[in-house]
Amino acid sequence: MLLSTMQDEPLSLATVLRYGSTFHSEAEVSTWTGSELRRMSYGEVGRQAARLANALEALGVGEGDRVATFMWNNNEHLVAYAAVPAMGAVLHTLNIRLFPEQLIFVANHAEDKVVIVDGTLIPLLGKYLPSLKTVRHVIVANGDASALEAPAGVEVHDYTQLLDEQEDTFTWPDIDERAAAAACYTSGTTGDPKGVMYSHRSMWLHSAQVTATNGMALSDADHTLAIVPMFHAMSWGLPHAALMCGASLIMPDRFLQPEPIAKILATEKPTFAAAVPTVWIGLLAHLDANPQDISHLRNVVVGGSAVPPSLMHAFKDRYNVDILHAWGMTETSPLGSVAWAPAGTTGEEEWSYRYSQGRFPVGVQARLVDDGGSVVANDGEALGELQVRGPWITGSYYSPDGGEVDPDKFDDGWLRTGDVGKITPKGYLTLVDRSKDVIKSGGEWISSVDLENIVMSHPAVAEAAVIGVPDEKWDERPLVSVVLRPDATADAEELRDFLTDKIAKWQLPERWTFIDEVPKTSVGKFDKKVLRAKYGEGSLDVKTLG
């Protein structure tokens, strides 16, 4: 090999912090308090990060130690995002909405030493704290530290007081780019959550992709409303990407309902926002009842589950806002594919690209594998399980003792996503389902996502979730759970009639149920396992059409 002449400068998040807090020192992160914003410049983020790093070091946090956050999206959470990896420790973002036993599992599994908690979340953390075996320090931000009763062996600190005692400079160490920078556990629907450890290198490259024009095209022109939680897949990479490019961040803290989100939009007029589809479905209903101009949003990134085309059209036609569909997973940092239509496409052709899960960027290689383990063609038609690999895709799950966790999720260096779809020759992905959600009716597949999208395009429908249920004749048939819009009416016959000219006759669902709300996972996705359990125990009122 002929070696290059280039410098071996590691891709470290310390450089991102140094860069953002100096060259973009005027950009701001700000947090909604319910009526206004608390603002902090990136210059101040740099100083606060140095204080936090000094404080953590004084508490005994060293290289590779895990520092957990149990926080909403806010200024202090950004400071932790900036400081913890840059000092060589590992930021572990705890999902505040996990079931108690899962939360306890992940904190113990990651061996978290310190937890930074928001004051409003003290009652929740207080319940778990006695079960967190490795935690020695809890730092309370935005609240009253004396409200937390600590078990023996755990010291409680006030964030402001602790940071006030520190110097506002820190000598950020040289870091091996392969070292762990942050940890996030999958929200796993079955079994224990699995840990993904992002490296400095993976986060650096991923953040750069977030700013790329075929990524999220985030730039210093953006005021970015980061609704997607910092405890879910690193808020889709927005925090470090913002420091990298000087985009300002607006953090909603605990004000995540449609009404306060609409208020933040009205007051701050962000240019950019990111959240899962259910947030936008809720916001749309609110805006339709209380119209306001939101055309200041030049880009709204939506992913985490499939975006119904009807939602995209509603935002475009009624509010002149473009939704950018994206696909990803905790395991993929998460940006996997983004649905920018190819330049020059217009009309229906453009929309067809925008409905898809999008095109893979150069950093994500993808292939489809069929049930027999053979790779199928990227011809835009053949279906298979999506497998991916690349510098920001995990190659394994974290194991404290080095043993293998769920090796079946990996196939010869590729991550098995569990998603089923097709890929065009030009690299556009269309997902039809999760492999466990696809409905096998008489040997043929029915896509639950397709059915949901069509039912949700009916004007009376707010949300629709489809699961497969056992059927004597066909093995499985779809059951549609429908949430109607407030004051709207529609019955099963009408909805089935609406579907007749949109899907094949044999796919038309016979089973329908009307519910008040689709159960959601800890990160706001439709929770089909809860619907399956309800169906199993007979607690859904199902109407079967002849």
Subset of 227-256 contacting ligand AMP (CB under 6 A)? 233
Strands (E) located in 174-271: 180-185, 195-199, 223-226, 248-251
Asked if 258 touches ligand AMP (CB under 6 A), the answer is no
Catalytic residue among 331, 385, 452, 463: 331
Q: CA 11, 17, 23, 26 torsion: positive or negative?
A: positive
Distance (Å, rounded) from C-alpha 52 to C-alpha 44? 12
Q: Helix, strand, or coil here: 176? A: coil
**CA angle (338, 409, 417) in 5-degree steps:** 20
Closest CA to 390 of 435, 360, 422: 360
20/478 with CB nearer ligand AMP: 478
**Catalytic status, residue 331:** yes
Active-site hit among 31, 69, 186, 521: 186
Q: Which is nearer to ligand AMP, 263 or 434 (CB)?
A: 434
Please report how close the Cβ of residue 299 comes to ligand AMP at its closest, in angstroms: 16
CA gyration radius for the chain?
Answer: 23
Query: Given the structure tokens 């996990």, which residue do they identify?
Result: 98
> Does position 310 bind ligand AMP by CB under 6 A?
no
Report in angstroms how near the CB of residue 464 gets to ligand AMP at its nearest. 15
Residue 95 sits in the site that holds ligand AMP (CB under 6 A): no
Site residues (CB under 6 A) for ligand AMP, limited to 345-364: 357
d(CA 189, CA 98): 11
**What residues from 167 to 186 belong to the interface with ligand AMP (CB under 6 A)?**
186
Amino acid residing at 121? L
Question: Which residue, 305 or 481, is less far from ligand AMP as judged by CB?
Answer: 305
Instruction: Establish whether 22 is a catalytic residue.
Output: no
Provide, rounded to whole angstroms, the least separation between the CB of residue 305 and ligand AMP. 5
Does position 434 interact with ligand AMP (CB under 6 A)? The reply is yes
Burial-class residue 346 by CB neighbours within 10 Å (0-12, 13-18, 19+): exposed
Count CB atoms within 10 A of the CB of residue 505.
7
Tokens of 458: 């009916």
Residue 543 designated active-site = no
Give the nearest distance from C-beta 59 to ligand AMP in angstroms. Answer: 31
Interaction between residue 303 and ligand AMP (CB under 6 A): yes
Q: Does the footprint of ligand AMP cover residue 387 (CB under 6 A)?
A: no
The one-character DSSP state at 96 is T
Q: Is 202 in the site for ligand AMP (CB under 6 A)?
A: no
The nearest distance, CB 522 to ligand AMP, in angstroms, is 9
Single residue of 31, 187, 211, 278 touching ligand AMP by CB under 6 A: 187
What letter does residue 344 receive in the DSSP assignment?
T
d(Cα 468, Cα 52) in Å, to the nearest integer?
Answer: 50
Determine, following the binding rule CB under 6 A, whether residue 97 of this chain makes contact with ligand AMP.
no
User: Does residue number 329 form part of the binding site for ligand AMP (CB under 6 A)?
Assistant: yes
Please work out the total of residues on this chain that contact ligand AMP, with binding judged by CB under 6 A: 21
Task: Kindly name the residue from 149, 440, 444, 543 that is annotated as catalytic.
Answer: 440
Known active-site residue 426? no
Q: How far apart are CA 30 and CA 23, in angstroms?
A: 18
Give the CA distances from residue 43 to residues 15, 162, 172, 185, 200, in Å, rounded to whole numbers and listed in that order: 14, 20, 16, 31, 22
Q: Which residues bind ligand AMP (CB under 6 A)?
A: 186-187, 233, 303-306, 325-330, 334, 357, 417-419, 431, 434, 523
Q: So which residues are the catalytic ones?
A: 186, 331, 440, 445
